[in-house]
Structure 1
Amino acid sequence: MKGAYLLFKRARFQFGSLRTKKRANGPDAWEFRFYEDTGGKRIRRYITVGRASQYPTAAAARKAVQALLLKINSDAPQRALVGLTLGTLMDRYIQEELPERYSTRVSYLSLLNRHIKPKWGDIPLDRVKAMVAEDWLKQLDLAPKTKAHIRSLMHLLFRCAERWELMETGRNPIALVRVKNCTKRLKRPRVLTVEEFYKLLPFLREPYRTMVITAQCLGLRVSEIVALRWSDFDFERLTLLVERSAVKARVDEVKTEYSRDEVPLHPDLAHILLEWRERAPFRGDTDWVFGSPITGKPYYQEHIQKAHLREAGKKAGLGAEIGWHTFRHSYRSWLDETGAPMKVQQELMRHASIQTTMNVYGQAMLKSKREANSKVVEMALRGAPLPREVAPAIAAR
């Protein structure tokens, strides 16, 4: 009976204790003490919160451990957490729920630290109101799409609060918040014509020129281009498996599960890539196709865009707005010109869906994708300044 009593006994909420601790080497620091149940035993734990100079008062140090308090009291009655702030909720979310994919983490942390925390960090959860949040979003000098991302992230934070039983289920205030025109762009994406694409190439040196040709011929995201390995290509079957991405030389999975796919490789593009392989600093099967000769890692795409693409665009008389995504937008536009069916375009772009109803039609056959892709490649390569070995092959077609 005693065991049954212990089984159903409600855990007590613990607040822990703070004290400053002198260190032999270095400045004084705040130490937080609490208990942790391990194997049926209650063990005292100690963690260093930060330097005393970093948190000049006990209140400031106490605020820094609020996220930890949420975790160690997960089985305790949460009504003891009166005045739980959104900032505390953010801290626990960052510790436990932040996505692992590097680019997503960076994006989320930017939205949290630059926008959400400065405005809402000290506000208790129960005082966040839908209309106040909606009016705040309206006043932000940001693109509608960015506002929608902020709204979605705030909604996710409150969903976590519901799951952690920090608030009643179904009381998420952000569920009522609207962001108008969030699917509209502030300015139209730049799309190159075939003639403009030809004008650009002479002002690009290797490997950026081959990277741009690859981008325009396949519609890949730049994060996928810089993460290509030679082993991803099957030059006999003329296919490429897109299965990873890289942002700031950090290699990760592709953006979505739909992005991981096999795409057709046109013979002329394959020839250009093989010709580049003969001159590339890294040629082994597991080597990066476009690895930096300085670091041996994938290139930083932002630097290439700023120092090479934009400069080439200006020299070609196309303006300074040429970026990596210009070629993905152009690829999509050129697919339209070929008359490719919408479902084939969706497969080649590797989007989850162009229109929701398109999903019921099944996957496009590789033959159909190859035909549509070939037409775009021929538009991109016919008339472009190419290596001597490739030009006769195209002229003979």
Structure 2
Amino acid sequence: MWRGSDPSAERQAKRHAPTVAGLCDRFLEEYVDQHCKPTTARDYHSVIRRFIRPKLGPIPIAEVTRADVVTFHHGLRETPYQANRAPAMLSKLFNLAEDWGLRQPGSNPARRIKKFREEEKKRYLSDAEQIQLGKVLAEALEDGTETVYVVSALLLIYTGCRLSEILTLRWDYVTSHHLELPDSKTGRRRIPLPREA
């Protein structure tokens, strides 16, 4: 007896297939919470909430194509920085989907997406601006309009540290000439402490 495909069963299976939204949930619960630092986890949550879920969330994981990812990437072209980070994160998601048996091995549709050019934005305070900022913060501390924590923003300027590194700084990380950060975003880090800091 000839056995043809069962269109009803195929439709049902398709309706219950795991979606990209479900993959995102599993990624956040089983991967991000265990393997990522808090700032990276926050970035991943944001990219998923703002970009991936709205555009790709309802699509079954196994049906996402390279064309879908290219279209998704192109749709973010006005914000090149975000546009380049989202497909990189999608690639990580689809690698895990392969590991978890939700896609065929080697089928990651987000591999080798050509990145948009990013303009590097760097702006440094001039010496005069640094002096003026120091005066304003010292006055704010003296008259009580700001706390010592806000004024410690000068440490960001003097050390070049990330905000999270300053906010989590402990006295035992401070030596007479350096900050010895045991676990910064880039790993162990030694930062020179200028006299002003």
TM-score by length of 1: 0.40
Q: 1:88 aligns with which of 6, 14, 22?
A: 22
Query: What SS does the corresponding residue of 1:122 show, helix, strand or coil?
Result: coil
Contact 1:84 1:124 in 2 (8 A): yes
Distance of 1:89 and 1:239 partners within structure 2: 43
Q: 1:142 to 1:208 in 2, by over 3 A?
A: farther
Q: CA deviation at 1:82?
A: 6.9
State the match for 2:99 in structure 1. 163
Distance of 1:97 and 1:261 partners within structure 2: 26
**1:148 matched to 2:78:** no
**1:184 matched to 2:125:** no
State the match for 2:4 in structure 1. none
Distance of 1:110 and 1:215 partners within structure 2: 25
**1:240 matched to 2:168:** no
Distance of 1:176 and 1:213 partners within structure 2: 41
Query: What SS does the corresponding residue of 2:180 show, helix, strand or coil?
Result: strand
Q: 1:80 to 1:128 in 2, by over 3 A?
A: closer
Q: CA deviation at 1:209?
A: 7.1
Contact 2:83 2:116 in 1 (8 A): no
Q: CA deviation at 1:81?
A: 10
Contact 2:76 2:82 in 1 (8 A): no
Q: 1:115 to 1:209 in 2, by over 3 A?
A: closer
**1:199 matched to 2:132:** yes
Q: State the AA in 2 paired with 1:88.
A: G
Distance of 1:85 and 1:233 partners within structure 2: 48
State the match for 1:57 in structure 2. none
Q: 1:228 to 1:84 in 2, by over 3 A?
A: closer
Contact 1:234 1:240 in 2 (8 A): yes
**1:136 matched to 2:136:** no
Distance of 2:47 and 2:38 partners within structure 1: 14
Deviations 1:243-291 (A, max 9, x none): 3xxxxxxxxx42121xx2223334x33xxx6xxxxxxxxxxxxxxxxxx
Q: 1:210 to 1:121 in 2, by over 3 A?
A: closer
Aligned residue-pair number: 175
Q: CA deviation at 1:210?
A: 5.1
Deviates more, 1:218-227 or 1:94-103: 94-103
Contact 2:18 2:60 in 1 (8 A): yes
Deviates more, 1:158-167 or 1:96-105: 96-105
Q: Computing the radius of gyration over CA atoms, which structure comes out larger, 1 or 2?
A: 1
Q: Which residues of 2 match residues 19-168 of structure 1 at below 5 A?
A: 83-98=17-32, 99-140=35-76, 142-168=78-104
Q: 2:159 aligns with which of 209, 218, 222?
A: 218
Q: CA deviation at 1:110?
A: 1.3
Q: State the AA in 2 paired with 1:184.
A: E
Q: 1:256 aligns with which of 152, 169, 186?
A: 186
Q: 1:163 to 1:139 in 2, by over 3 A?
A: same
Contact 1:134 1:179 in 2 (8 A): no
Query: What SS does the corresponding residue of 1:240 show, helix, strand or coil?
Result: strand
Deviations 1:210-268 (A, max 9, x none): 52432222211121112222222222xx222123xxxxxxxxx42121xx2223334x3
Contact 1:159 1:172 in 2 (8 A): yes
Q: 1:208 to 1:92 in 2, by over 3 A?
A: closer
Q: 1:122 to 1:111 in 2, by over 3 A?
A: same
Q: 1:138 to 1:80 in 2, by over 3 A?
A: closer
Query: What SS does the corresponding residue of 2:152 show, helix, strand or coil?
Result: helix
Query: What SS does the corresponding residue of 1:173 show, helix, strand or coil?
Result: coil
Contact 2:17 2:60 in 1 (8 A): yes
- The alignment yields a C-alpha RMSD, in angstroms, of 2.6
**1:265 matched to 2:185:** no
Of all paired residues, the percent bearing the same amino acid is 27
